Structure 1
């Protein structure tokens, strides 16, 4: 298969999955419950943070999290009392109530500093991807607090993390291709800077398609995959996340 044929194949897979039907089985369905941009980004960030493990469990716990927040996630972040935060009861695998409180307090701090989550991720002029911005966001979210056990749930690219879940969240917020899946509510970030959310499945798929050689699923692997996907579409490389998800999942999609 030539590079041109591979591009056509991937574009066809993108078209197959980048449509509203994708939402019903994906964690993005949780922020799709809302129309207010602040609710969308808060719900999106928190649900993306717990997006690992069995998909059914992720979805169930995402809905439970919104129930806990009274289906007003931004208002809850800004107005929940110390007593309400202390009474939180939530667990998803290794993510627990303590971690949830830590993230809520961090998000509140960002908003109270007259910032939005979008401005926290704005890149500098010499940056070609969002890894440095993710590191800055991590620092803002933590602030002067002792990070403790909650640090493992906050992406840290400086330690070589692939930062899969935060890249997924950024795709949700930034991409706007009018297909009804991603939100595109952050208009000051260019989709050209987005990176593919890399996990075991997408990594193996990328290797099978000879788009990735590095064996570890880490930051260097993400950047290697970025370079290949940008050759296919420099303006919107992360749209191929839909293709990498689909290849190998759908028995109707075959690679030869």
Structure 2
């Protein structure tokens, strides 16, 4: 389906306006960080919710709420002040292949980031390139696992330099960096710009992008993400990832 660029832009802008509003929060994992007001609580809750954001959306939201509960509804305080004995209650947690051991490792790695690297935002900002955060994600993974860690937990943080579309981390970065003035995305990371973001590419957004002629590559991998990025930056270089709302909405809510 080949549409003229101006028509495609109008069509997608209309869909962004339809879906980029607070109603979207009700059925999306972004509702988890919206329970908090402190910057560190928001970003930690967002990072954990995004990490388990695959599979059935209801179970993602249920389990992400459980994660926050296990951290005593004070994610930052728990991460910074926990004793080893406090971690035991995390061990029964499970969401698909992410289990209690992974959760404990994430708590330790997050503590390491805040104690030794000035927190999540500082790490992503340090390695950001002018028009992309994919190298930044790769470096983030290195820093996250530079303390002793379980080998198995590494698979829960994607690496774009290994051709991963890194959907969940790109979604987390959208939440943190993009300020949509509509109360959905937070925009609390001022050191990064929405123009650096990449679209969270998954089955839904990928299929819709192909139908609209924004993407040719068949797999949803790092190469496909680069292709989609280029197309979306062409439509809006300043805020390319706003189209995630359009692609996702068309796929999930409209069976486009």
TM-score by length of structure 2 reads 0.95
Q: Tell me which of 54, 59, 62 is aligned to 2:61.
A: 59
Q: Tell me which of 243, 246, 250 is aligned to 1:247.
A: 250
* Counterpart position of 2:151: 148
Where 2:198 maps in the other structure, the secondary structure is: coil
* Counterpart position of 1:21: 23
* Counterpart position of 2:229: 226
CA distance in 1, matches of 2:129, 2:61: 38
Deviation at 1:126, TM superposition (A): 5.1
Q: Tell me which of 95, 99, 112 is aligned to 2:98.
A: 95
Q: For structure 1, which segment, 114-123 or 33-42, has the greater mean C-alpha deviation from structure 2 after superposition?
A: 114-123
Q: Tell me which of 63, 70, 73 is aligned to 1:71.
A: 73
Task: Structure 1 unaligned segments of length 5 or more: list them.
Answer: none
Contact 1:131–1:157 (Cα < 8 Å) also in 2:
yes
Q: For structure 1, which segment, 74-83 or 183-192, has the greater mean C-alpha deviation from structure 2 after superposition?
A: 74-83
Alignment of 1:107 onto 2:116: no
* Counterpart position of 1:237: 240
Q: RMSD across aligned C-alpha pairs, in angstroms? A: 1.4
* Counterpart position of 1:211: 214
Deviation at 1:125, TM superposition (A): 7.2
CA distance in 1, matches of 2:151, 2:130: 30
* Counterpart position of 2:121: 118
CA distance in 2, matches of 1:126, 1:156: 16
Q: 1:126 to 1:110 in 2, by over 3 A?
A: closer
Q: 1:174 to 1:126 in 2, by over 3 A?
A: closer
* Counterpart position of 1:50: 52
CA distance in 2, matches of 1:37, 1:31: 10
Contact 1:123–1:132 (Cα < 8 Å) also in 2:
no
Contact 2:133–2:197 (Cα < 8 Å) also in 1:
yes
* Counterpart position of 2:87: 85
Contact 2:207–2:251 (Cα < 8 Å) also in 1:
no
Cα deviation 1:46-79 (Å, max 9, x = unaligned)? 0100000000000110111111111101111111
Deviation at 1:186, TM superposition (A): 0.2
Deviation at 1:250, TM superposition (A): 2.9
Deviation at 1:247, TM superposition (A): 1.2
Contact 1:50–1:58 (Cα < 8 Å) also in 2:
yes
CA distance in 2, matches of 1:240, 1:123: 26
Q: Tell me which of 167, 191, 194 is aligned to 1:191.
A: 194
CA distance in 2, matches of 1:123, 1:239: 24
Deviation at 1:200, TM superposition (A): 1.0
Contact 2:70–2:89 (Cα < 8 Å) also in 1:
no
Deviation at 1:144, TM superposition (A): 3.6
Cα deviation 1:100-159 (Å, max 9, x = unaligned)? 011110010010015121110015575421110001110111014244110110111121
